[in-house]
Protein backbone atom coordinates (compact mmCIF):
# COMPACT_ATOMS: atom_id res chain seq x y z
CA UNK A 1 0.00 0.00 0.00
CA UNK A 2 1.29 3.45 -0.94
CA UNK A 3 1.79 5.96 1.75
CA UNK A 4 0.04 9.31 1.28
CA UNK A 5 2.29 12.28 1.68
CA UNK A 6 0.80 15.46 3.09
CA UNK A 7 2.23 18.78 2.12
CA UNK A 8 1.45 21.86 4.15
CA UNK A 9 1.49 25.14 2.25
CA UNK A 10 1.92 28.31 4.23
CA UNK A 11 0.37 30.97 2.05
CA UNK A 12 0.36 34.45 3.48
CA UNK A 13 -2.31 36.84 2.40
CA UNK A 14 0.06 39.59 1.33
CA UNK A 15 -2.14 42.55 0.58
CA UNK A 16 0.80 44.86 -0.06
CA UNK A 17 1.01 46.59 -3.39
CA UNK A 18 4.01 47.53 -5.49
CA UNK A 19 4.34 51.27 -5.82
CA UNK A 20 6.32 53.96 -7.58
CA UNK A 21 6.70 57.42 -6.09
CA UNK A 22 6.66 60.16 -8.73
CA UNK A 23 7.80 63.76 -8.82
CA UNK A 24 5.97 65.87 -11.39
CA UNK A 25 4.71 69.43 -11.72
CA UNK A 26 1.64 68.24 -13.64
CA UNK A 27 -1.82 68.31 -12.03
CA UNK A 28 -3.30 64.86 -11.42
CA UNK A 29 -5.69 64.87 -14.39
CA UNK A 30 -2.89 65.79 -16.81
CA UNK A 31 -0.49 63.17 -15.45
CA UNK A 32 -3.25 60.54 -15.69
CA UNK A 33 -3.92 61.61 -19.29
CA UNK A 34 -0.19 61.41 -20.10
CA UNK A 35 0.13 57.92 -18.60
CA UNK A 36 -3.00 56.83 -20.48
CA UNK A 37 -1.50 57.95 -23.78
CA UNK A 38 2.00 56.58 -23.21
CA UNK A 39 1.06 53.18 -21.74
CA UNK A 40 -2.44 52.77 -23.24
CA UNK A 41 -3.99 52.68 -19.81
CA UNK A 42 -7.44 54.08 -19.06
CA UNK A 43 -7.18 55.90 -15.75
CA UNK A 44 -10.51 57.28 -14.59
CA UNK A 45 -11.13 59.76 -11.81
CA UNK A 46 -12.97 58.16 -8.88
CA UNK A 47 -15.82 60.09 -7.30
CA UNK A 48 -15.49 58.24 -3.99
CA UNK A 49 -12.30 59.36 -2.23
CA UNK A 50 -9.90 57.36 -0.13
CA UNK A 51 -10.80 58.05 3.52
CA UNK A 52 -7.89 58.35 5.93
CA UNK A 53 -8.51 58.67 9.67
CA UNK A 54 -6.86 61.84 10.94
CA UNK A 55 -4.94 62.37 14.12
CA UNK A 56 -6.87 62.99 17.30
CA UNK A 57 -9.04 66.09 17.11
CA UNK A 58 -9.00 66.31 13.30
CA UNK A 59 -11.59 65.27 10.77
CA UNK A 60 -11.23 62.32 8.41
CA UNK A 61 -9.10 63.32 5.43
CA UNK A 62 -10.29 62.70 1.86
CA UNK A 63 -7.89 61.84 -0.97
CA UNK A 64 -9.14 61.54 -4.52
CA UNK A 65 -7.43 59.22 -6.95
CA UNK A 66 -7.49 57.82 -10.48
CA UNK A 67 -8.12 54.12 -11.06
CA UNK A 68 -7.46 51.74 -13.94
CA UNK A 69 -8.58 48.10 -14.06
CA UNK A 70 -7.00 45.87 -16.68
CA UNK A 71 -9.80 43.32 -17.18
CA UNK A 72 -7.59 40.87 -19.07
CA UNK A 73 -4.77 40.80 -16.52
CA UNK A 74 -6.99 41.47 -13.46
CA UNK A 75 -4.46 44.11 -12.50
CA UNK A 76 -5.35 47.47 -10.98
CA UNK A 77 -3.46 50.73 -10.92
CA UNK A 78 -4.13 53.65 -8.61
CA UNK A 79 -2.66 57.12 -9.07
CA UNK A 80 -2.88 59.32 -5.96
CA UNK A 81 -1.71 62.89 -5.56
CA UNK A 82 0.27 63.10 -2.32
CA UNK A 83 -0.78 66.62 -1.28
CA UNK A 84 -4.49 67.30 -1.21
CA UNK A 85 -6.23 69.90 0.92
CA UNK A 86 -2.88 71.08 2.24
CA UNK A 87 -2.09 67.70 3.83
CA UNK A 88 0.34 65.07 2.59
CA UNK A 89 -1.03 61.53 2.53
CA UNK A 90 2.44 60.01 2.52
CA UNK A 91 4.04 62.32 5.10
CA UNK A 92 7.21 60.23 5.30
CA UNK A 93 7.86 60.91 1.59
CA UNK A 94 7.22 64.63 1.00
CA UNK A 95 9.32 64.49 -2.20
CA UNK A 96 6.61 62.38 -3.88
CA UNK A 97 4.03 64.43 -5.73
CA UNK A 98 2.18 61.23 -6.69
CA UNK A 99 2.24 57.55 -5.87
CA UNK A 100 1.34 54.97 -8.50
CA UNK A 101 0.16 51.69 -6.93
CA UNK A 102 0.08 48.34 -8.75
CA UNK A 103 -2.29 45.68 -7.34
CA UNK A 104 -2.03 42.10 -8.66
CA UNK A 105 0.85 43.06 -10.93
CA UNK A 106 1.97 40.06 -12.94
CA UNK A 107 2.53 42.06 -16.11
CA UNK A 108 5.07 44.81 -15.54
CA UNK A 109 8.73 44.57 -14.58
CA UNK A 110 8.86 47.53 -12.21
CA UNK A 111 12.54 48.25 -12.86
CA UNK A 112 11.76 48.57 -16.55
CA UNK A 113 8.68 50.67 -15.70
CA UNK A 114 10.90 53.01 -13.64
CA UNK A 115 13.16 53.54 -16.63
CA UNK A 116 10.18 54.31 -18.89
CA UNK A 117 8.63 56.72 -16.38
CA UNK A 118 11.94 58.53 -15.83
CA UNK A 119 12.15 59.04 -19.59
CA UNK A 120 8.92 61.06 -19.70
CA UNK A 121 9.25 64.86 -19.84
CA UNK A 122 6.42 65.23 -17.32
CA UNK A 123 8.19 63.19 -14.62
CA UNK A 124 11.28 64.55 -12.85
CA UNK A 125 11.97 61.48 -10.71
CA UNK A 126 10.55 58.02 -10.02
CA UNK A 127 11.35 55.78 -7.06
CA UNK A 128 10.32 52.19 -6.43
CA UNK A 129 8.59 51.44 -3.15
CA UNK A 130 5.80 49.33 -1.65
CA UNK A 131 2.58 50.09 0.16
CA UNK A 132 4.34 48.67 3.27
CA UNK A 133 6.65 51.70 3.22
CA UNK A 134 3.77 54.00 4.17
CA UNK A 135 2.29 54.50 7.64
CA UNK A 136 -1.18 54.78 6.08
CA UNK A 137 -0.95 51.34 4.44
CA UNK A 138 -3.77 49.81 6.56
CA UNK A 139 -6.07 52.57 5.29
CA UNK A 140 -5.32 52.14 1.58
CA UNK A 141 -8.74 50.61 0.99
CA UNK A 142 -9.85 51.79 -2.42
CA UNK A 143 -13.66 51.87 -2.58
CA UNK A 144 -15.16 50.15 -5.57
CA UNK A 145 -11.87 48.47 -6.46
CA UNK A 146 -12.27 44.86 -7.54
CA UNK A 147 -10.09 42.13 -6.07
Q: How confident is the model over 40-89, as pLDDT tens digits?
A: 999 999 999 999 887 776 788 899 999 999 988 889 999 999 999 888 99
Where exactly are the structural domains of the chain?
18-137
pLDDT value of position 53: 86
Q: What is the pTM of this model?
A: 0.85
Q: Are the C-beta atoms of residues 88 and 52 closer than 8 Å to each other?
A: no
Residues near 146 by beta carbon (within 8 Å), at least 6 away in sequence? 69, 76
Q: Are the C-beta atoms of residues 50 and 141 closer than 8 Å to each other?
A: yes
Cα–Cα nearest to 82, from 108, 50, 57, 46: 50
Amino acid sequence: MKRIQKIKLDIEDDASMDAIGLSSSYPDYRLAWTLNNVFRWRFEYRDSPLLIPAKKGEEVRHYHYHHFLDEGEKMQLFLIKNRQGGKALFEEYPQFDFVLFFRNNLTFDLDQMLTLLRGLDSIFAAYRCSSKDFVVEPHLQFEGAHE
